[in-house]
Amino acid sequence: MTPTWAQLVYLGCAVCFILALKGLAGPRTARAGNLLGAGAAAVAVAVPFAHVDLDHVALILAAIAVGGIVGAVGARRVQMTQMPQLVALFNGVGGGAAALVALLELGHLGPATPGFDLVATAFTVAVGAVSFAGSVVTFAKLQELMTSRPVVFPGLPVLFAVLLLAVLGLAALVVTEASVGWGVALALVGLAAGALLVLPVGGADVPIVISLLNALTGLTVAAGGYVLGNVVLLVAGTLVGASGSFLTLLMARAMGRSVGNILFGALRGGSTLGAGEASDRPVRSAGAEDVAISLGYAERVVVVPGYGLAVAQAQHTLRELVEVLTARGARVDYAIHPVAGRMPGHMNVLLAEAQVPYEQLVEMDDINPDLPHTDVVLVVGANDVVNPAARSNPDAPIYGMPILDVDQARQVVFLKRSMRPGFAGIENELLFDPRTTLLFGDAKESLTRLLAAVKAL
């Protein structure tokens, strides 16, 4: 029986988690919210050592130390471009851990255990295994350890349906017999189902799937908290499950797609196809000096940052260029698409790292009405989020996705490494528009040359 003081501490930790999530809703309070949540988690981990007669304490402490070191080193060393992969890995570890804890707990349960406890245990094993396997596949796609294209084969829908039925059948056996053997079988089938769930998803849709898997992991943690009678796990898991579900729906809406289409669109030929071939169509290109003239004498400039900016780590140079343009009298803002950089908030964090004032970051819905009155739009490493095919081509995989309407600006300048299409694997007709100028090269090198040319005006 958990003593009263420990229950009160757990309740306090749960309240801190809620306040931490609230703090993460804004840039000014995000750091404090993150620290509050981390501190509450540390306290929640420490409390059982004070009131539970634990076995194998040395092994537990060693596991905590190893996990803490690996997590800290990984989080500090990860590049901003690899943040989605890190989220996928951490999420997968959470789902896998929940499944393993449920299997261990299953060994202490018997047929006399209340039915709902066994249902929650079976749910945790199955969904935790799905989340783990799915997260590993999403990591492999984003890290380019495997193709980012949808992986489909004849009979995949049938095989996936069979696996789902097997999951339900094995879960029923776990509930009726409380057998660890059936639990292990359930976990193995769940792993296979998780892999098949994500394989047909194209690279551009993977971040949305990460959010969905994160929500599933939260639900498994909440179910595990119910079985273990731990209010902290129950509240924390519920928060993650609810916030992950909302984020998934919001991201899908930002892409103009349904979650079902994202998960199963490739089976009907409607999902994103991943990176395609470079175009050999003629375009209008220019040097840094020519682009600098357009920027240097523009009164209104909008910058659209994308994944290529993060890859080149050019955010500091971009900020300096914007400062120079502002000093020359131009009004400059950053246009932020909801999924710019492959994750919500990715660009916000990247630009905050470069000390860009938050007031200069303008969301898509707010900046779009201003774009027809903009002299120059500078697109740095973005592609799909400004592709007019989302409005004009019903056959395009991004059709229906809300985009930044940069094609309505007076002039568009693209900074691109090559003519390869974006992550959706389709050409961007805006590149061939007479009002569009391309500046080829690595984003950081191009911005450095552009900065020097603007200063020299």
| Catalytic residue IDs | 384
Question: Cα–chain-centroid distance for residue 307?
Answer: 13
Q: Which two tokens stand for residue 9?
A: 């501490």
Which one, of 21, 4, 8, 5, lies nearest residue 232 by Cα?
Answer: 8
CA distances in angstroms from 185 to 97, 102, 163, 424, listed in the order given? 17, 13, 12, 37
Q: Which two tokens stand for residue 10?
A: 């757990």
CB 248 within 8 A of CB 212: yes
Enumerate long-range contacts of 51-60, CB under 8 Å, 24 or more apart.
51/2, 51/3, 51/5, 51/6
Which one, of 412, 339, 340, lies nearest residue 371 by Cα?
Answer: 412
Provide the 8-state DSSP code for 358.
G
Sign of the C-alpha dihedral, residues 54, 56, 62, 67? negative
Q: Exposure string (b/e) for 124-162, b if CB count within 10 Å is 16 or more?
A: bbbbbbbbbbbbbbbbbbbeeeeebbbbeeeebeeebee
Q: Strand, helix or coil at 416?
A: strand
3-state percent breakdown (helix, strand, coil) of the chain, nearest 5: 65, 5, 30
β partners of residue 363: 336
CA dist., res. 127 & res. 306, Å (int): 33
Burial bucket for residue 65 (CB in 10 Å: 0-12, 13-18, 19+): exposed
| 401: alpha, beta or left? (left if phi > 0; alpha if psi -120 to 50) | beta
Which one, of 355, 356, 379, lies nearest residue 367 by Cα?
Answer: 379
Sign of the C-alpha dihedral, residues 362, 363, 367, 369? negative
CA dist., res. 327 & res. 374, Å (int): 18
Provide the 8-state DSSP code for 410.
S
| Half-sphere exposure of residue 55: CA atoms within 13 angstroms, side-chain side | 0
